[in-house]
Amino acid sequence: MPRKAPSQVRMDLPARIPALPERGVVPGVSAATLAAIARVEHRRFRRGDTYRSLRHWHRTVYQRGPWIIYPAADDGHGCCDSVGWCRGTLESICHLLPPRARRQLRAVINPLDERFLARTLNDPYAAPDDPWWRRRLTY
């Protein structure tokens, strides 16, 4: 009886759906900082909020298109604007971290902030008491 080729056996297998990670690892920070982030998330946020916020902030800053970007006011977060949500979450987490962990996380966030400032325009009609990331022009 002839055998099936290995490629045919693989094609007959059901497709695997990759599991989404519960908690992503923030690149560029130490294990102690990751532990501090996990403690903060356990107390005040959902598990993995730092990773998801950082990933979304990175995607917003490095989106394709012309050099000047206008971040969408609503990008799939339903009730709130996504730029304000992800950057606000990162800022809140930074305030709750111990100093050394805060420095390491800010070292990851600062280059993204600088690129966002360089690629967006100031909104002259924004409220002056808003955080700096909300005082940028959107769609």
Distance, in Å, from the CA atom of 37 to the CA atom of 49, rounded to the nearest integer, reads: 10
- Per-residue pLDDT tens over the stretch 22-80: 567 888 899 999 999 999 999 998 888 999 999 999 988 888 777 777 776 544 544 44
Distance, in Å, from the CA atom of 115 to the CA atom of 99, rounded to the nearest integer, reads: 24
- Per-residue pLDDT tens over the stretch 82-119: 778 889 999 999 999 999 999 999 999 999 999 998 88
Alpha carbon separation from 61 to 18, 56, 70, 118 (Å, rounded): 26, 9, 10, 10
Check: CB of residue 74 under 8 Å from CB of residue 82: yes
Q: What is the dihedral of CA 4, 8, 14, 19, to 10 degrees?
A: 120
